[in-house]
Structure formats: C-alpha cells, structure tokens
C-alpha cells in the first residue's frame, strides 16, 4: 500500500471535496481521483460517496482514518529519523582515548558536538591498555590517541589531527626554568620524577640520552598519577617529561614552566584511529569533522587539512 494514497484519502476527508484536497496537496484533481481509486481497488471497498457538496467518507474510510493517520505520522517520523542519521545529526558514537587525552582534549570537542549536534549521543571510554585491540574487535567506533609509528594491531587507519610534544617541566623557581637550548648533559644530573618505567615517554627519553652517549637518569621518584606528578614538580626542584597537552592549564597559570627538548624523538602526533576499509557513518563523520575544527582552532597551523575520508 502506497503511503501517498493514505495521505490523499485523509486530505479528501479533511477538505470534504476533491477540488479543495487537490489544492492543498498541490496535485491535479484527476491525479487525486486516480489515487483514491487505486486505494479503493487495493482494499476492495468504496471509500467515498459523492454528495451535493463534495465527497462524504463511507464507513470504510472512517474506519481506516485513524490507522491512516498513524501510518502517515509514523512514516514522517521514520523519514525524519533516517534523514537525521544520514546527515549525522543523530546516532551513537563510542570514542575511546587515554586518560590524558580524554581529560584535556575531548571535553572541548564534546561541548562543540552538544551545541552543533544536540541529538548525537557520544559515549566516552577512558583507558590506557588494549585501546587498538579493542577498536579492532569493535568495542569502539574511534580512538583518539597518539599515532605510533607502527600500530600494534593490523587493519587500522589513522588520521592526524595535531602535533603534540614531550616537554621538560619544572617549577618556575627551578634554575633551568630560564635556560634555553637545553642539552642532554644539562639534564642528566637533575632530580627526575618519572610516570612509569615502561611508557612511550620513558622509552623516547631513554633513546634521547642514549643518542648523546649518556645513560637515562635514575628516577628519584615514580608517580603514575599525572595530577600528583605535576604537583610534585610544581612544589619542588624535581623535573619530569610530560606531554604539552597535559600541562596547558598549568602553563597559563604559571604554576609550571616547560622547556622544549630539541629532538624529533619528542614529537607526539595525536590523531583519530578507526577500522580500515569500514564505511564512516554520518555520526562518526560529524565527530571527526568537529574534532578537526576544534584542533585547528586550538593549534593553528598544526592541524591536518586532509578531508575526512
């Protein structure tokens, strides 16, 4: 049964005549008459009686009226829902990220999404381990994370967003706070606090010192909680290496100072990772596009202009 025939029948009942209904529907009267006839043939009953003032619905049309209204309303809602899903204004997207990125970057993206796509539902998962394995297995739609040179899992596609860096952090009172062009020999004797002995940051720092023919400094202290680590550095003469993304607020408030370490080993590209060869849903496309816009505004001239694929 064609939903248009039901809409036409309802218009004739409401307007009381073929002429008035055809004007409301913006179709010709012969076309409307043919539509009613086809519906009558499909149902095997007469839906209207001709009267002096127009068309009078039969008992069959009156019985069908409520169902026809429900069908038309349901179809309109379904069409609106499909259009919203097609345009990326509705749907569900599950995004995973390491805690630092989930805390420091995702909130700004989510606020923008809430304003631009109020019906789009976003689920955030914050975890460090097995991010890419869980992505391959379908637990998430996307991962926002550091883009490793080699992924631990196959079948993944990455899209660069911006370039983060590892920086050396210290309190504003530290003697190195005003130094520039720090070299490995300037840092090896400092009092270091490390987040963990087996992190990407730690491995890069070890390579940095090894390339200068120096050993990795011994950690005076280890602390896995980034917030506690920053408090230790801010209130002492300890130093550490932290991603710049994780200390932007402290730098603005001057509670910490950061010094760039001149080495490509400190580069920390951040991007979106998803399953390769999988069509990107409109909802996912909306998230990626807004993530690009947010990063472009936050890190001018450091964000990829590559189109969302």
Q: How far apart are CA 303 and CA 89, in angstroms?
A: 24
At 308, is the pLDDT very low, low, confident or very high (cuts 50, 70, 90)? very low
Strand partners, 95: 124, 142
Total-model pTM: 0.65
Which architecture, in CATH terms, is 90-162+275-298? Answer: 3-Layer(aba) Sandwich (3.40)
Provide the sign of the torsion angle of the four alpha carbons 189, 192, 196, 199, taken in this order: negative
Q: Is the pLDDT of residue 120 over 90?
A: no
Residue 89: what pLDDT? 54
- CA separation (Å) from 94 to 162, 269, 277? 21, 22, 18
Greater model confidence, 208 or 303: 208
**In the chain, where the domains are located:** 3-87, 90-162+275-298, 163-267
pLDDT surpasses 80 at 196: no
Return the DSSP state at 79. Answer: H
- Evaluate whether 3-87 and 90-162+275-298 have a shared fold: no
Q: In the chain, at which residue ranges do the beta strands (DSSP E only) sit?
A: 48-51, 54-57, 90-97, 119-126, 142-146, 156-170, 192-194, 219-222, 240-243, 257-260, 267-275
What topology is assigned to 3-87 in CATH? Arc Repressor Mutant, subunit A (1.10.10)
The structure tokens 């379908």 sit at 138
Q: Which of 260, 294, 106, 253 is nearest to 180 (CA)?
A: 260
* Mean per-residue pLDDT, 2-14: 85
Confidence check: pLDDT of 267 > 80: yes
CATH 3.40.50.10140 fits 163-267, yes or no: no
């Amino acid at each position: 049964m064609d939903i248009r025939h039901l809409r036409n029948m309802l218009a004739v009942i409401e307007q009381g005549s073929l002429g008035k209904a055809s004007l409301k529907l913006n179709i010709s009267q012969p076309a409307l008459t043919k539509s009613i006839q086809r519906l009558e043939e499909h149902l095997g009953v007469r839906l209207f009686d001709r009267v002096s003032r127009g068309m009078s619905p039969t008992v069959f049309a009156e019985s069908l009226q409520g169902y026809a209204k429900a069908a038309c309303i349901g179809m309109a809602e379904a069409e609106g829902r499909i259009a919203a899903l097609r345009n990326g204004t509705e749907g569900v997207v599950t995004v995973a990220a390491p805690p630092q990125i989930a805390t420091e970057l995702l909130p700004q993206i989510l606020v923008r999404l809430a304003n631009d796509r109020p019906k789009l539902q976003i689920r955030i998962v914050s975890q460090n381990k097995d991010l890419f394995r869980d992505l391959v297995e379908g637990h998430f739609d996307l991962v926002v994370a550091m883009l490793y040179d080699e992924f631990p899992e196959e079948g993944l596609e990455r899209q660069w967003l911006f370039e983060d860096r590892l920086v050396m952090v210290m309190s504003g009172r530290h003697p190195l706070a005003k130094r520039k062009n720090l070299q490995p020999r300037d840092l090896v004797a400092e009092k270091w606090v490390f987040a963990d002995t087996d992190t990407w940051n730690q491995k890069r720092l070890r390579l940095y010192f090894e390339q200068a023919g120096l050993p990795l400094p011994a950690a005076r202290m280890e602390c896995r909680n980034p917030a506690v680590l920053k408090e230790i550095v801010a209130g002492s003469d300890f130093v550490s290496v932290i991603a710049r993304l994780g200390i932007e607020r402290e730098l603005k408030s001057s509670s910490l100072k950061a010094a760039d370490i001149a080495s490509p080993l400190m580069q920390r590209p951040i991007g979106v990772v998803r399953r390769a060869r999988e069509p990107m849903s409109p909802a996912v496309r909306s998230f990626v596009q807004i993530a690009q816009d947010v990063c472009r505004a936050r890190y001018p001239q450091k964000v990829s202009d590559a189109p969302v694929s």
